[in-house]
Structure 1
Amino acid sequence: MAAAARLAARGRPLSRPNPAVGCLVVRDGIVVGRGWTRPGGRPHAEAVALAEAGAAARGATVYVTLEPCAHRSDRGPACSDLIVEARPARVVIGQRDPDPRTCGRGIERLTEAGIAVAARACPVSRDSLAGYLARAERGRPHVTLKLATSLDGAIATAAGESRWITGPAARAHVHSRRAMADAILVGGGTWRADAPRLDVRLPGLEPRSPRRLVLSRTIADETVETLPAPEAIAGLEAVQYLYVEGGAQTAAAFLAADLVDRIELYRAPIVIGGGAPAIGDIGLASLAQAHGRWHLAERRQLGSDTFEAYRRQAQDQPRDGDKR
């Protein structure tokens, strides 16, 4: 399932408005088919993997990160029907689909056809579908807050100099993360002070530059979209993944509104002293409120800089899903 989830990442974010799903077909320990959701949402991962497997899918095991869809569409057949036609012996599903058109129905269709189904609550599948599930369960995009700081937590000198705190390896990694987002957002102060390009500047990935958003009520610039408040992200169409880059007040606004799902922290081995803090006041009343909120999900070295990703612990209550 972890391998299927890695395949799913290839579809993000171009699969929008559909979720990025990964699928593997395995027979006798050998992968005979692999697929991920293609740009625009079709074909689905299962259709691609089964087409590659061909006759070898019969009697095989299908691993798919999301419950196969059960609804027919003008854009393509239902994946549960395709699987029934392929006649695998077993299907392992990493996450039930909250879409009411499929929820449980895809599994039901497979079991009625005599195919063994294992529907597991798989964390790696859930992580790979974070944007889709955030939309379905919380009615908004999945939000990643990116911070690049010195060892003492500054994002700039007292005079405002911030280029560059981190080195080239860390900056390239940031661009790879931008390429995985549907939209990128900065605050009005950052936009006015730095005029950031907010694009992807990695060879071959330039077309994946996300939509550019600014958190501001006053900026009038036709090259960007503006949002009046963090809560307005719920109204962003076709955005499953939002990448928030700066600055300190914008970071504080999203944290105070409890809208951050993941923090990605790039830390350079420098000490600035008296510099601009990475995050403004978030209204924390006591240290007890701060503990137990974030869980380390990933750590790696990027040149001389350290990258750490933290996942939010508490989750909101689910709500009816979006359509797949």
Structure 2
Amino acid sequence: MSNSNHTQAAQDRYFMMLAIEQAKQGLYTTRPNPAVGCVIVQAGMVVGQGFHPKAGQPHAEVFALKDAGAQAVGATAYVTLEPCSHTGRTPPCALGLIEAGVQRVVIAGLDPNPQVAGRGVQLLEQAGIDVTVGVLTEQAEALNRGFLKAMRTQMPYVRLKIATSLDGRTAMATGESKWITSVAAREDVQKLRALSGAIITGSETIVTDDPQLNVRSTQLGVPAEQVPTPKVVVLDRRQRLAHNAQSEYQLCRRADTLYWRKDDLAELLRHLVSEHQCYDVLVEAGASVAGSFLCQQLVDELIVYQAPCLLGAAAQPMVNFHPLSLSEQLRFKVSSHEQLGPDLKLTLYPL
């Protein structure tokens, strides 16, 4: 690579990182749309920037172009996801970039949405705009794992969250579990909920804990009321629960709670994508539900909050599954580990 090409590549990475930082500002509010950021650069200087804040509102490119004004002419636009080419609730962003007179567009990754899927790039190139694709793709895609997976496979991205003791226990034999982990760990769970289009739990968790499973954090960077409320799904094969405005359980009083009474969890996940546009799913449930999702290989990411305590052999296990030999064990790759207050947070991916 020549020095000039090397310099250009370094500049592209730098400005794309700025666009990714823009995209992060919409991380909790854009569902079901992806979080997207855009930066407009003229003569090595940022002259415009923006992000997509909410479904139905203008996309990142629109805000960035408005910010740049006349300085967009001849500029380079850095976008974290391929500009849309179709008219939905907002006009096509690819046409907006063309009309603004930008000279070059740098894109982190293509949009697998069938309505876009390369057509945005095609429109730009047909207009004589120089297009570069594939700058910081992995970092940009990490912001929209659910959207991208759903567009590619019609299945959501599933995160399984478990709070456990050092000896792998999640509750006492009586069901008592509040609280094993610290305030800091529970606050982090709020971020997982805020990322999620749906939260899946089991009827046993409803009966035992009567949880709210809502987003109520004041530390998200945006007011909790601006975060789309995750859809709650209750696995209730035994039909123990039902919607009742006078129910003793909070979630059963919510008219939009979905009760799933079939055995097929994969069918449920497909249903959440096709019927409810839930692309990121969080499983917050007991050992049996956790075991079912893991054994059926439906978990994309396992998040374990481990408290520095011991609950003993009679306490409830973190996962119910019964391998007969080591060859049947479930193994994971540790992606990251961090300390939250006194607790350890492990993020793992199935091998």
Q: Give SS of 1:129's match.
A: helix
The match for 2:13 is none
Paired with 1:282 and 1:252, the residues of 2 have a C-alpha distance of: 9
- Deviation of the 1:249 alpha carbon: 0.9
The match for 1:210 is 230
Q: Give SS of 1:214's match.
A: strand
The alignment status of 1:227 with 2:227, answered yes or no, reads no
The match for 2:286 is 247
The match for 1:276 is 316
Q: How does 1:1-324 map to 2 (within 5 A)?
A: 1-73=16-88, 75-120=89-134, 122-203=137-218, 204-206=223-225, 208=227, 209-217=229-237, 218=239, 219-221=241-243, 222=252, 223=254, 224-228=257-261, 229=263, 230-231=265-266, 232-236=268-272, 237-274=276-313, 275-281=315-321, 286-287=326-327, 290-291=330-331, 294-312=332-350
- Deviation of the 1:9 alpha carbon: 3.4
* TM-score normalised by length of structure 1: 0.87
CA contact (8 A) 2:323 2:329 kept: no
CA contact (8 A) 1:253 1:282 kept: no
Paired with 2:65 and 2:294, the residues of 1 have a C-alpha distance of: 43
Q: Give SS of 1:181's match.
A: coil
- Any idea what the Cα deviations from partners look like across 1:136-156, whole Å, max 9, x if unmatched? 122122111111111111111
Q: Which has the larger displacement, 161-170 or 151-160?
A: 151-160
* TM-score normalised by length of structure 2: 0.81
Higher-RCO chain (CA-CA 8 Å, sequence separation at least 6):
1
1:281 is aligned with what amino acid?
Answer: F
Q: Give SS of 1:273's match.
A: coil
Paired with 1:33 and 1:55, the residues of 2 have a C-alpha distance of: 10
- Any idea what the Cα deviations from partners look like across 1:38-80, whole Å, max 9, x if unmatched? 322431111121111212223332221211111234x322111
Paired with 1:233 and 1:96, the residues of 2 have a C-alpha distance of: 24
Q: What is the aligned-residue identity percentage?
A: 40
- Deviation of the 1:283 alpha carbon: 5.6
Paired with 1:69 and 1:284, the residues of 2 have a C-alpha distance of: 51
Paired with 1:38 and 1:123, the residues of 2 have a C-alpha distance of: 22
Paired with 2:325 and 2:46, the residues of 1 have a C-alpha distance of: 53
CA contact (8 A) 1:199 1:206 kept: no
Unaligned runs of 5+ in 1: 314-324
Paired with 1:277 and 1:11, the residues of 2 have a C-alpha distance of: 37
User: Superposition RMSD on alpha carbons, in Å?
Assistant: 2.2
1:280 is aligned with what amino acid?
Answer: N
Alpha carbons of structure 1 residues 42 and 305: separation in structure 2 relative to 1, 3 Å: same
Paired with 1:285 and 1:66, the residues of 2 have a C-alpha distance of: 45
2:90 is aligned with what amino acid?
Answer: G
Q: Give SS of 1:152's match.
A: coil
Paired with 2:292 and 2:41, the residues of 1 have a C-alpha distance of: 46
CA contact (8 A) 1:69 1:80 kept: yes
Paired with 1:110 and 1:181, the residues of 2 have a C-alpha distance of: 33
The match for 2:248 is none
Alpha carbons of structure 1 residues 57 and 295: separation in structure 2 relative to 1, 3 Å: farther
1:140 is aligned with what amino acid?
Answer: M
Paired with 1:118 and 1:312, the residues of 2 have a C-alpha distance of: 33
The match for 1:316 is none
Paired with 2:71 and 2:138, the residues of 1 have a C-alpha distance of: 29
Paired with 1:176 and 1:272, the residues of 2 have a C-alpha distance of: 27
Paired with 2:286 and 2:347, the residues of 1 have a C-alpha distance of: 18
1:247 is aligned with what amino acid?
Answer: G
Unaligned runs of 5+ in 2: 1-15, 244-251
